[in-house]
Structure 1
Amino acid sequence: KCQIKRPFLVPVSWVKEYGEGRMFYTNLGHNEKTWTNPQFIAHVTGGIEWALGLAEGSAKPNPELSAKLEQKARADQEYQSGIEWATPAVVQPGVLGGPPSDAIVLFDGKSLSQWEGGDQWEVKEGYAISKGGSITSRESFGDCQLHIEWATPEKVEGTGQGRGNSGVYLMNRYEVQILDSYQNETYVDGQAGAIYKTKPPLVNASRRPGEWQSYDIIFHAPKFNADGQLQKPAFVTVLHNGVLIQDHTEILGATAWAEPPKYLAHPDRQPISLQYHGNPVRFRNIWIREIPDLAGKRPE
């Protein structure tokens, strides 16, 4: 006897030897897809031949065969969207914290040639020290994944916003705050990891002053229509030292210190800026990946 579970989805068959006679029964299953399945047709044909004595076989249960048939039946009933997706590109991950194979390296510890204003900053021992003014990437980006490592001065000077202040400006206008927020009181939407003056981080994941820290930022750029009206706001996700601190947070507009954030139309691609706010913040290992638009072809 071979029995398949979930009879409301797939066929169930019973066989019995009664004296010198043989009996074969099936409920035929649930839909035309089952009835036209070549394996099911062969199964019914074989059952009829066995019942007529034209084929050899046993009426004893066969758990191994039942399991195989059930697995096949489940596969036949499996939902498939029918959407044709392109095969995802193969990307080789970098060493821990290092750039993957498809990343654009914005700072490799040797040169700030990828940045306008980079000659103002000092580069030594594999890192750059902010001084003299902010710097802006020569290349522009839209939706992206940005990795950046930074460290505030080991010697603590100042308090609040005057302690290790800098910032990552996405599209040169939407700021993720950099600050020494280790045991340093300030307004919560201005501490490290805040969307400045808009949204504080979920938690404070700051390391001690002088220790290297990391941001991994997933940014989705805003969309504007032809008239310059906002169609879709920007969203950002931030991990600070591997800890989620911004979870698909809506950005309410360009960062401003003296007024509420607001959107002004701008191109789909804009540069990244690193702020100089009067404190010698160190930076290293900066790389960025553009997020591809993945679209599948739906069945006609």
Structure 2
Amino acid sequence: MKKILVLLFSLVSILANAQIGVGAKAPKKAKILFDGTHKMLHEKWQYWNGPRLKASMPIKWEIQNDPVDAGTVVNTNDPAAAGGLYGAADIVTKEEFGDFRLHVEFFIKEKGGNSGVYLQNRYEIQVLDGDTTSHGMAAVINESPSPYYAYNGIGKWNAYDIMFRAAKFKDGKLVEKPMVTMYFNGKKVHKNQKISQVWGGPNSGQDGGNDGGKGITDRPGGLKLQAEGHNVYYRNIWIVPMDIKKADTDF
């Protein structure tokens, strides 16, 4: 009981100190995944070695000046992914995670700009200008409606703040589906949204080729960012690894 109370106190402390929205600062316990530098890009990330991989190390995503604020950002427009060839040049963190609290900021330069944020290199939170469907902007892809109303639009920074609880297994069998709560630009848009499978097939992410995406395994996974041949930028990415005992990700 004492250990559980300590974990709960730690969770409350992390959430109390973590900001949300564009420009949110990482709490002390966070791991910084991208700070705008070449050094961190190459230290923390690698190309995802999926079946459609066409890129080769080192990572070809360019570090560019922030189009709005001071500092630098990374552009997803890898030549290997031209024409929307998803899975050809996606990047994933070298470190893999189970449960976590995540912050990601993105900027779409042109109409129809497309990318994606993959939790555990499995479950996509869509980044797609102009799409208001369940396959569209900020949707837990194919699992929830798009909260398009919260989108800041082209030429502005946007932020996802996510609490994610991984699928839980007992004796090798899935007993609880993965779950996510998310704020989009400071507005809560998903609350305890369960995720049924990996969508998009084997080219999309880990376990995508297992039983049509329904064969989720208990392996942790990295944070993946998708290259779709568009000028979509990322900055200020941090994560807090967690151990969420209860099936509740609300924050």
TM-score for the superposition, normalised by structure 1 = 0.61
- Measured against aligned partners, the alpha-carbon deviations of 1:7-37 in whole angstroms (never above 9, x if no partner) come to xxxxxxxxxxxxxxxxxxxxxxxxxxxxxxx
Deviation at 1:204, TM superposition (A): 2.4
Alignment of 1:188-199 (within 5 A): 188-199=133-144
Residue 280 in structure 1 maps to residue 221 in structure 2: no
Amino acid of the structure 2 residue aligned with 1:274: L
* Residue of 116, 124, 128 corresponding to 1:175: 124
Shift of 1:272: 1.1
Q: Which has the higher contact order (CA 8 A, sep 6+)?
A: 2
Distance 2:170 2:184 in 1: 33
Which residue number corresponds to residue 248 of structure 1?
A: 192
| Structure 1 unaligned spans of 5+ | 1-82, 157-162, 296-300
Kept in 2, the 8 Å contact 1:215–1:238? The answer is yes
Q: CA deviation at 1:268?
A: 4.1
Partner of 1:147: 103
Identity of matched residues, %: 29
- Residue 74 of structure 2 corresponds to residue 128 of structure 1: yes
Aligned to 1:51: none
Deviation digits for residues 103-127 of structure 1 (CA, Å, limit 9, x no counterpart): 0000011130211037220012310
Work out which of the residue numbers 199, 216, 219 in structure 1 matches 2:161.
216
Match status 1:101 vs 2:31: no
Helix, strand or coil at the partner of 2:134: helix
CA distance in 2, matches of 1:190, 1:257: 15
Q: Amino acid of the residue matched to residue 279 of structure 1?
A: H
| Corresponding residue SS for 1:86 | helix
RMSD: 2.6
The two structures have a TM-score, normalised by structure 2, of 0.72
One-letter code of the match for 2:195? Answer: I
SS in 2 for 1:144: strand
Q: In the comparison of the two structures, how many residue pairs are matched?
A: 201
Structure 1 counterpart of 2:105, one-letter code:
E
- Alpha-carbon shift at residue 173 of structure 1 (Å): 1.2
1:232 aligns with 2:152: no
Per-residue deviation at 1:187? 5.6
Cα distance in 2 for residues equivalent to 1:177 and 1:286? 16
Name whichever of 283-292 and 201-210 sits farther off.
Answer: 201-210
Question: Would the aligned equivalents of 1:110 and 1:124 in 2 still touch at CA under 8 Å?
Answer: no
